[in-house]
A and B are shown apart, each in its own frame.
Chain A
Amino acid sequence: MHAELSPLGFTVISVALDKDPESARPWIEAASVTHPSLVDTSYVLADLYNIVNVPTTVWIDEEGWIVRPNDVGYATDTFRGIHGIDSGRVLDSIREWVRDGTSSIDRNRARELQPLPTAEHQLARAEFGLARWLGMHGRSEAAERHFLRAGELAPHDFTIRRGSMPMRGIDSMGPQFREMVMDWISRGNPYYVPLPE
């Protein structure tokens, strides 16, 4: 995508929300990317853009305006059976935006669709920040209290609930993750909501 469209004034910026650069390294090196491929161990991007799950895409135009806010961004069909999103259509709409300058939604619609954080959610992010600091300094019992508190305050934020799992020695693709998702879904919540077409 980046190689195809970069001559037309386009770039991908990918950001790994991970506990350390080494967690992201194998992914970045395997993809041998040519675009800026960054690592965010402080979850700065999640805080700035109110990101609650991955992968999330945001379209930003030449002048720095958000023209399509947080959306589920799958570049492959690997997990299509789970999320039901057709990567081909996603890629086509990006090509159209880059080539013709036509975004799939107008500015007012983009503003309506922009998710905004609540005070409670920002407190969850502060608890998560405190937990990460404690975890990094070897105080894992105290860290666990704050990881759990953060997840209670923002149960829909899987950058916290799932993203904390590797920091807590939990397999983020294992039974505890599946149990968490099943519990969330069984109470009538979607795991991840794409923007409406």
Chain B
Amino acid sequence: MEVIGVELTLVDQAGETVVDAELHGDRVLVTNADVARATGWVRKPEGMCRDEVCVPLRDASRHTDDRVDLTAFAEALQRPLAVDGDEHVAFLGSAAQDRAEQLTSQRAPDFALPDLDGRMHTLSAQRGKKVLLVAYASW
């Protein structure tokens, strides 16, 4: 199979990182160092680790010593991954399970968003007040 080396843009809610990737058909292999740089998850013998948490990487054959299969990595974290192999862009979303646990706990997820002047506001800064959160749109 043809292997193509590319610069792939890995995007998530926090931002984007250009990583060194190899495309093997539909598979995307990213260097261990760049996965760590883009996501904070470090490859170790026990799997992918961040802080005190390690998640095993299944299907050893999908990875190489110095590269991680991005789809398998997302599966290990139970996070959704959308890839456009032609455009060399991938978006790593948030896990349904993480979202469901947060919402089931009934703790209102905190957020930081800008106003029109670019000043950031958080929900947590309003602690002590009742808050009516209203999502709307111009469309």
Contacts and interface: CB of A to CB of B under 8 A. Distances in A.
A148 interface: no
Interface residues of B, number: 55
A130 interface: yes
19 contacts: A10-B130, A17-B137, A27-B138, A39-B114, A48-B109, A51-B135, A54-B135, A55-B136, A57-B135, A59-B133, A60-B130, A64-B127, A69-B103, A111-B104, A114-B106, A122-B79, A126-B81, A130-B82, A134-B89
Interface string B59-98: 0000000000000000000111111101101111111110
A154 B33 CA distance: 34
Interface of A: 1, 9-18, 21, 23-29, 36-40, 42, 44-51, 54-66, 69, 73, 75, 94, 97-98, 107, 110-111, 114-119, 121-123, 125-127, 129-130, 133-134, 139, 142, 145-146, 149, 159, 162-163, 165-166, 172-173
A50 B133 CA distance: 13
A119 B114 contact: no
B134 interface: yes
Contact of B139 (A119, A122, A172): A172
Nearest to A127: B82
Contacts of B13: 42, 44, 47, 129
Contacts, number: 223
B137 A13 contact: no
Nearest to A121: B96
Nearest to B108: A60
B25 interface: no
Contacts of A118: 96
Contacts of B130: 9-11, 59-62, 97-98
A38 B117 CA distance: 10
